[in-house]
Structures are given as C-alpha cells and as structure tokens.
Amino acid sequence: MNRDPHHPFDPPPLLYRLRDAGPIVRVISNGGTPAWIVTRYEDQRTLLSDPRLSSDQTLPNFPVAVEGIKKSQAELSRTIITLDNPRHDVLRRMYARDFTIKRITALLPAIQRHVDNLIDDMLSGPKPADFVASLALALPTLVITDLLGVPYEDHQMFQDITEKIVSPELPAQELAEATGELVEYVGGLLDTKRDDPKDDMLSRLAAYWTAGEISRAEAIGAGMVLIPAGHETTANMITMSTIALLDHPDQLDQIRSGEDQKLIANAIEELLRYNHVTHYGRRRVALADVEIGGQLILEGDGVILPGNLGDRDPDAFPGDPDELDIHRQFRHHLSFGYGIHQCLGQMLARAELRIVFSTLFRRIPTLDIAIPRDQIPFKSDLFVYGVHRLPVTW
C-alpha cells in the first residue's frame, strides 16, 4: 500500500498498475491468500450490494489484510462489520437508533462547542502546534466518548489501543493482547452501564443485552467497532482534508468564510472521494459463483474492492478524477462503502467535517503547515490512511 511520495493523496502506484492490467486481476492478498482485485467503480458497487459476497472473516480464503487478525480476533469476528444477513440487519437496526437525523442534530451544538474550545486551546498554546493532537484526533474522540458514554479520561488508553489495532505490522501476539485489553475495557463499561444506565449508546447496548436481544459478545463487539471506527477515520479525514485545502488555496478561499454551506457540503463529499482514508479496500469472500466484468469468481474466492481506486475511475467521475474539485457534482463516492455495510456513522462524520471546515479557516485564516511538504509523516502503514503528526503555525 506504499504511496508515491510525490503524490501522497493518490492511491498506491501498485493499484494503478493493477488497473492497467485489467478490470479484475488475480493477486495474493497481504494476508497470504489468493484473491481477485476489482478495479472498476461500477463493478465494485455491483459486488458490494451482492449478497453472494460475504464479510465473514472466519471463512476460509477470506482475504484478511493480515493473517494475525483472523487468529487473534476470532471471538470478535461476529461484529456488525463482519456479519452477513440476516443477523447483520438485526444489529444494524438496533445500533441505527443512535444515528438518526434527530440524534445527530441534537449533537451539533456540542460538536460546535468542542471545535471552538479546541481551536481556542490551540491558539493559546505554543507554536507550532500538532494539528492532529490539538484538533483532528481530539474532536472525534470527544464526540465518540459523548455518544457512547465512555469516560473522556480513558481516551489516551483507547487511542493507544486503536493505534495498535489499526496497524497491520503489529505481531499477532501483541494484536491479541491489544484486542483483549479493549474487550475487557468495553465489557467492564457495559457491566457498569447495566447497573447504572445513563442516556448513552453503551447503556442502550447493555439494555439490549440484559433483555436478551443481543449477546454480551455482540454488545462488546459494537463498542469494539465504534471506538476505532468513530475516531480514527474521521481524524484522518480532518487532517488530510486540511492539507488538501491548503494545497489548493483558490478552492480554500471559496469556503474560507464558512458562509456557503452548500459549497462546504459539496467540498466535503469531494474531499471524501479524493482522500478516501480506508485504503485497504473492502474485503469479501464469494459464497457462490459470481460473474462480473467478464470474469467468473468461483465460490470460496476472496475479493478485494479498493474503493480509493474506484473513486478515481474516470468512467464514474468525468473530468480528471485525480484532481480535487470542490465543485464536482458527483457525490456517489465509495468512501463510506456501499451496500448493507455502508458506514453507519456517515451522518455524524459529515456533521463533524462540516463544522470543522465552517470554522477552522475563518477562525485561523493564516493557518499553515510548519514543515516542508515532503516531511509530512503520512501513514500508509495503518489500515486507515492519514498523517501521524502535522505541525502547524498561524
């Protein structure tokens, strides 16, 4: 997944080469099993909504990104992300009650307050500041702790564990330990919420569990998915988008004041397409023979759908898809996935991004990156693409 250092926003050169080799190419996945890489946007979308493709990582030949994951997370393999239907939809309907328009709208004033406070703190601190720690990671962490009802004091601990879990380089033993720590932590919280419920998502999960609607493992699995999913992705989107906008000052100027909400909303869709931080691709295994793009995928074959490549497909995004264009009127990107597993938190992520980019450059018009561009520590070594640290000044 190594990127071209001169084009850190573009998918890895290897993926472009695979696209040149054909719409569907046989590869060995990083986990060591053979799989098909599907390069075209339209084929990816078709397959993501095909029930003959399974997300169950315990099936033989599932193209896991690293073999260790399968072994160490077997007990946690039955989360909303890895379950097929009918069970997937049962859990999804339950969790979706915390992601309705009404609930997200109720969170907006708190998100705005967090953004304002974090910017105040950054402005009153030393220069250069680390943008990731000061805002990009701090905001989604605050939001997910509010939503789940996780004590904010514990954020460093679960950020450290998340950092490990999203690292494909981590030895299987350490991955198992990190996962075990998070399981224990979330389990402990659920026990507390069962006995002393509050108005938060973990309390509601504890209630579903005590009512027998979900198992304790499923309730823990929900926390295990939501903690990393809720902050690592959004944090990297905020940082990557900030760099991309600073690199396109003409486009940044058009949204700097934060007044044109329609254009900001459109810019966010384009930034989601352009940055596409979940760069390891959607991964599936075929439960039956499936024909796509003239290729027969046999039952039991692994399938990898690199959405970052699909989102750069010229047939789906006319003009130059490798360019950022905040006026692009095509919002059908795959950054949140597609089909039954399409991101449950997308409305929340969009709300956070919209508030950040309606506020950040208005409050700090001179914001700039404090190191040369070629020294920005991009992280292609983690499941979520982004930046480790970003020294900024103003």
- Residues found near ligand HEM in the complex (CB under 6 A): 55, 80-81, 92, 144, 225-226, 229-230, 233-234, 237, 277-278, 282, 335-337, 341, 343-345, 348-349
Question: Beta strand pairing status for 282-286 and 53-54?
Answer: antiparallel
Residue with nearest beta carbon to ligand HEM: 345
What is the smallest separation between the CB atom of 23 and ligand HEM, expressed in angstroms? 20
Q: How far apart are CA 168 and CA 147, in angstroms?
A: 28
Residue type for position 135: L
> Residue 65 or residue 129: which is nearer to ligand HEM going by CB?
65
What is the smallest separation between the CB atom of 173 and ligand HEM, expressed in angstroms? 26
> Residue 80 or residue 297: which is nearer to ligand HEM going by CB?
80
What is the smallest separation between the CB atom of 124 and ligand HEM, expressed in angstroms? 28
> Residue 70 or residue 282: which is nearer to ligand HEM going by CB?
282
Residue 315's Cβ-count burial label (10 Å; 0-12, 13-18, 19+) is: exposed
Assigned token pair, 328: 């692009």
What is the smallest separation between the CB atom of 138 and ligand HEM, expressed in angstroms? 14
> Residue 189 or residue 344: which is nearer to ligand HEM going by CB?
344
> Residue 206 or residue 305: which is nearer to ligand HEM going by CB?
305
What is the smallest separation between the CB atom of 49 and ligand HEM, expressed in angstroms? 11
> Residue 35 or residue 344: which is nearer to ligand HEM going by CB?
344
Length of the chain: 394
CA angle (105 as vertex; 101, 109 as ends), nearest 5:
165
CB 149 within 8 A of CB 202: yes
The beta strands (E) that lie in 61-168 are given as: 129-130
The beta strands (E) that lie in 200-342 are given as: 282-286, 290-292, 295-297, 302-305
What is the smallest separation between the CB atom of 166 and ligand HEM, expressed in angstroms? 12
CA max distance for the chain: 60
Crossing angle between the packed helical segments 216-246 and 155-165, to the nearest 10 degrees:
80
> Residue 230 or residue 321: which is nearer to ligand HEM going by CB?
230
Counting Cα atoms < 13 Å in the Cβ hemisphere of 156 gives: 1
Assigned token pair, 3: 């990127």
Question: Beta strand pairing status for 290-292 and 53-54?
Answer: unpaired
Counting Cα atoms < 13 Å in the Cβ hemisphere of 313 gives: 24
> Residue 301 or residue 352: which is nearer to ligand HEM going by CB?
352
Among candidate residues 383, 385, 343, 353, the one with its CA nearest the CA of residue 169: 383
What is the smallest separation between the CB atom of 104 and ligand HEM, expressed in angstroms? 10
> Residue 128 or residue 168: which is nearer to ligand HEM going by CB?
168
What is the smallest separation between the CB atom of 278 and ligand HEM, expressed in angstroms? 4
CB 183 within 8 A of CB 77: no
Q: How far apart are CA 123 and CA 394, in angstroms?
A: 9
Q: How far apart are CA 185 and CA 189, in angstroms?
A: 6
Among candidate residues 271, 72, 107, 288, the one with its CA nearest the CA of residue 182: 72
> Residue 35 or residue 294: which is nearer to ligand HEM going by CB?
35
DSSP 135: I
Assigned token pair, 170: 């981590």
What is the smallest separation between the CB atom of 360 and ligand HEM, expressed in angstroms? 16
What is the smallest separation between the CB atom of 358 and ligand HEM, expressed in angstroms? 16
